[in-house]
């Protein structure tokens, strides 16, 4: 079967559906290609917090993603309301988020401070509250929580309802057709159009092609893009989450600040008497990811929930487990809009906040596709951006990532005795410096030591933060 259309959109998550909805009023025929039963979709696994402020950390407070999220959050609830109204289907929204520095750790406290600073800077209403006043917050007695905040306008949406409603809106649009299929291959035709070959042997021929297929986006189009686009490769932030009974009748979200690369521990009230408990985030090569939540993720979430949020959850039934892959880019910023190939547009790389950003991303991509005046935004794929990714010095990033990665390994509830955490961080950092040869003199010194002492002893020397301990072989 061959389908001809003006615009083909590949993908079935929040981004692709929001983009197709944005295009439906244009004088154009649109074909959306996506499997009706999606596995590993980030959207379907998400807690879908509108976490513009809750996601702020000491490291990302001044990033363009943070500003973009804050700007989008203002109109998000209205947008969801419109989608629900058009679909005639409910899309449940909760309002109000408590953020507790639950572990009272240095990382939690620093990130909570960064959140409060951003709230003040943007004049967003919030209150400081005592952890004891957070409804449903009842951790184990060994937990010594730090301060807590309540952000009344920061809420959540139910992503599975949002996808159902967006799909209903598209089905009712005269110029949108939905193909229940998977794009296997994308080609350029002799007359400069795009051909999408699907797994059920359909050919979709389109003037313009928008690919918003989550973690699979770049692999579908890489062969069509200029060679310097290889800098845009994506990997997966593998995430798991749970659904439990809402045993306290919670009406607000309770979360910790972000931890490491994950969006903290969060408990989000859902309709139907349940809560969503999220979420893990483990960096994976897309091809190395499985299809279901690993036991270690479920273990980590349950341990965190019962120990840090409410011991009473130990008796609550576990109803469902979610699993999805967040699309992550090399510069941790989304990839939005036109590419170096005319008529080929992309929307991906949204990592932890793609549902929140989807209405604004949809506007930007639709404007590009329809040739409207290009809107300014920080995530255009420019040659400067590609160069920045290729040429950046990752040393500082790696140095901040090593402690986060180590803390991730130590979950759930793990700790090392004495100053071993610092020692391990030091060892990893030393190994990194050695691998990249950043500091030539230091690299030679380390190599010299390792070559002249038994390897085990030599490595142990670097498992220490005390420089003076480290001998140099003459």
Q: Which is nearer to ligand FAD, 45 or 369 (CB)?
A: 45
Q: CB of residue 306 vs ligand FAD: minimum separation in angstroms? A: 19
The secondary structure of residue 307, as a DSSP letter, is: I
Q: Which is nearer to ligand FAD, 323 or 462 (CB)?
A: 323
- Residue whose C-beta lies closest to ligand FAD: 354
**E strands, 96-175, in order:** 97-100, 127-129, 148-151, 156-157
Residues 268-327 close enough to bind ligand FAD by CB under 6 A: 278-279, 324, 326-327
Residues 244-273 close enough to bind ligand FAD by CB under 6 A: 263
Q: CB of residue 230 vs ligand FAD: minimum separation in angstroms? A: 20
Instruction: Rule CB under 6 A: say whether 337 interacts with ligand FAD.
Output: no
C-alpha separations of 91 from 46, 48, 49, 254, 324 in Å: 14, 12, 14, 20, 21
Nearest to 390 by CA among 253, 156, 231: 231
Task: Encode 399-435: b = buried (16+ Cβ within 10 Å), e = exposed.
Answer: eebbbbbbbbeebeeeeeeeeebebbbbbbbbebbbe
The secondary structure of residue 305, as a DSSP letter, is: I
- Contacts with ligand FAD: how many residues (CB under 6 A)? 43
Binding-site member from 34, 252, 255, 274 for ligand FAD (CB under 6 A) = 34
Instruction: Rule CB under 6 A: say whether 91 interacts with ligand FAD.
Output: no
Q: Which is nearer to ligand FAD, 115 or 434 (CB)?
A: 115
Binding-site member from 241, 267, 309, 335 for ligand FAD (CB under 6 A) = 241
Q: By CB under 6 A, which span of 168-176, 352-360, 403-411, 459-467 interacts with ligand FAD? A: 352-360
Q: By CB under 6 A, which span of 41-49, 74-82, 293-301, 302-310 interacts with ligand FAD? A: 41-49
Q: What are the phi and psi torsion angles at 358 (to 5°)?
A: -60, -40
Residues 6+ apart with CB under 8 A from 190: none
Q: Which is nearer to ligand FAD, 279 or 364 (CB)?
A: 279
Report whether 339 contacts 345 (CB < 8 A): yes
Residues 70-89 close enough to bind ligand FAD by CB under 6 A: none
Binding-site member from 352, 360, 411, 426 for ligand FAD (CB under 6 A) = 352
Q: CB of residue 241 vs ligand FAD: minimum separation in angstroms? A: 5
Q: Which is nearer to ligand FAD, 11 or 269 (CB)?
A: 11
Site track for ligand FAD across 191-220, x = CB under 6 A: ---------------------xxx-x---x
Hey, is 347 helix, strand or coil? strand
Q: CB of residue 390 vs ligand FAD: minimum separation in angstroms? A: 24
How many CA atoms within 13 Å lie on the side-chain side of 200? 11
Nearest to 255 by CA among 136, 345, 354: 136
Q: In what helix (H) or strand (E) does residue 234 lie, and over which residues does it extend?
A: strand 234-245
Site track for ligand FAD across 2-31, x = CB under 6 A: --------xxxxxxx---------------
Instruction: Rule CB under 6 A: say whether 424 interacts with ligand FAD.
Output: no
Residues 46-65 close enough to bind ligand FAD by CB under 6 A: 46-49, 51
Report whether 203 contacts 287 (CB < 8 A): no
Measured CA to CA, the distance from residue 329 to residue 349 in angstroms comes to: 5
Report whether 305 contacts 214 (CB < 8 A): no
Binding-site member from 30, 149, 183, 306 for ligand FAD (CB under 6 A) = 183
Q: Which is nearer to ligand FAD, 12 or 136 (CB)?
A: 12
Binding-site member from 29, 31, 38, 246 for ligand FAD (CB under 6 A) = 38
Binding-site member from 9, 23, 30, 45 for ligand FAD (CB under 6 A) = 45
Q: ∠ at Cα 70 (246, 250), nearest 5°?
A: 10
**Alpha-carbon Rg of the chain, whole angstroms?**
24
**Percent helix, percent strand, percent coil in the chain, to nearest 5:** 40, 25, 35
* Footprint on this chain of ligand FAD (rule: CB under 6 A): 10-16, 33-35, 38, 41-43, 45-49, 51, 182-183, 212-214, 216, 220, 239, 241, 263, 278-279, 324, 326-327, 348, 350-356
């Amino acid at each position: 079967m061959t389908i001809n259309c003006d615009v083909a959109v590949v993908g079935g998550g929040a981004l692709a559906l929001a983009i197709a909805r944005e295009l439906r009023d244009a004088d154009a025929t649109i074909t959306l290609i996506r499997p009706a039963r999606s596995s590993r979709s980030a959207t379907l696994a998400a807690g879908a917090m509108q976490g513009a402020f809750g996601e702020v950390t000491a490291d990302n407070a001044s990033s363009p993603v943070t500003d973009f999220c804050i700007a989008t959050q203002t109109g998000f609830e209205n947008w969801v309301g419109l989608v629900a109204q058009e679909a005639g289907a409910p899309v449940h929204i909760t309002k109000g988020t408590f953020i507790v520095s639950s572990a009272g750790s240095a990382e939690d406290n620093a990130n909570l401070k960064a959140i409060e600073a951003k709230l003040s800077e943007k004049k967003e209403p919030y209150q400081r509250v005592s952890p004891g006043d957070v409804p449903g917050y009842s951790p184990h007695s060994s937990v010594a929580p730090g301060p807590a905040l309540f952000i009344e306008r920061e809420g959540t949406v139910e992503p599975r309802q949002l996808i159902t409603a967006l799909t209903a809106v598209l089905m009712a649009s005269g110029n949108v057709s939905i193909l229940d299929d998977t794009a296997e291959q994308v080609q350029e035709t002799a007359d400069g159009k795009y051909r999408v070959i699907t797994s059920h042997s359909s050919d979709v021929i389109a003037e313009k092609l928008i690919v918003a297929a989550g973690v699979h986006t770049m692999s579908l189009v890489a062969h069509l893009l200029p060679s310097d686009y290889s800098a845009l490769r994506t990997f997966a932030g593998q995430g798991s989450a749970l659904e439990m009974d809402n045993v306290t009748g919670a009406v607000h979200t309770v979360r910790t600040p972000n931890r490491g690369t994950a969006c903290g521990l969060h408990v989000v009230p859902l309709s139907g008497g349940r809560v969503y408990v999220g979420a893990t985030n483990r960096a994976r090569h897309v091809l190395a990811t499985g299809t279901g939540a690993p036991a270690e993720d479920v273990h980590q979430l349950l341990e965190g929930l019962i120990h840090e949020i409410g011991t009473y959850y130990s008796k609550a039934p576990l109803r469902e487990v979610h699993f999805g892959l967040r699309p992550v880019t090399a510069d941790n910023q989304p990839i939005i809009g036109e590419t170096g190939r005319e008529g080929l547009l992309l929307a991906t790389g949204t990592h932890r906040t793609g549902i929140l950003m989807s209405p604004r991303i949809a506007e930007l991509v639709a404007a590009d596709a329809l040739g409207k005046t290009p809107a300014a935004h920080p995530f255009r794929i420019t040659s400067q951006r590609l160069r920045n990714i290729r040429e950046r010095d990752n040393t500082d990033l790696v140095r901040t990532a090593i402690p986060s990665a180590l803390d991730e390994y130590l979950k759930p509830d793990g700790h090392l005795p004495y100053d071993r955490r610092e020692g391990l961080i030091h060892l990893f950092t030393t190994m990194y410096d050695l691998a990249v040869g950043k500091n030539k003199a230091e690299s030679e010194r380390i190599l010299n030591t390792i070559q002249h002492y038994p390897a085990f002893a030599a490595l142990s020397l670097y498992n220490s933060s005390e420089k003076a301990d480290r001998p140099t072989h003459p």
